[in-house]
């Protein structure tokens, strides 16, 4: 049986490498353990787990944000939209250079 699989492997980084600005822009979503990072010109959602930053799918992030009673995601979508636009602009500048 052949199965089409569009999944890609999620990335994982030590916190020190993740927060190094030379590896790409990042921002924390409100005051939650969720972050956005533009790595290799691909924006991703990352969850801080102890000393590791683990990438999660957008669907996983959205489901978590919708159900969370512990973290406040108010205004998070505006922050995400702004980060994604900045990442897109940064990627376009790199491609045009």
pLDDT tens digits, 65-94: 999 999 988 888 899 999 988 888 887 777
Per DSSP, the residues of 30-64 read TTSSEEEEEETTEEEEEEEETTEEEEE-HHHHHHH
Q: Which domain holds residue 33?
A: 12-96
Confidence at 7, pLDDT banded by 50, 70, 90: low
Write the pLDDT tens digit of every residue in 32-73.
999 999 887 778 999 999 999 999 999 999 999 999 999 988
Q: Is residue 3 part of a domain?
A: no
Between CA 68 and CA 63 the distance in angstroms is 9
| pLDDT score, position 9 | 72
Residue at 22 is within a domain:
yes
Question: What pLDDT is recorded for position 79?
Answer: 92
pLDDT band, very low/low/confident/very high, at 1 (cuts 50, 70, 90): very low
Residue 34 lies in a domain: yes
Residue 8: per-residue pLDDT: 63
Cβ atoms of residues 41 and 91 within 8 Å: yes
Structurally, how many domains does the chain consist of?
1
């Amino acid at each position: 049986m052949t199965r089409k699989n569009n999944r890609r492997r999620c990335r994982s980084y030590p916190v020190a490498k993740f927060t190094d600005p030379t590896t790409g822009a990042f921002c924390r979503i409100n005051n939650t353990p969720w972050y956005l990072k533009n790595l290799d010109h691909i924006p991703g959602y990352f969850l801080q787990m102890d000393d590791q930053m683990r990438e999660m799918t957008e669907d996983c992030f959205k489901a978590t944000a919708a159900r969370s009673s512990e973290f406040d995601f108010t205004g998070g979508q505006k922050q995400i939209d702004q980060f994604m636009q900045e990442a897109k602009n940064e990627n376009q500048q790199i491609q045009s250079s």
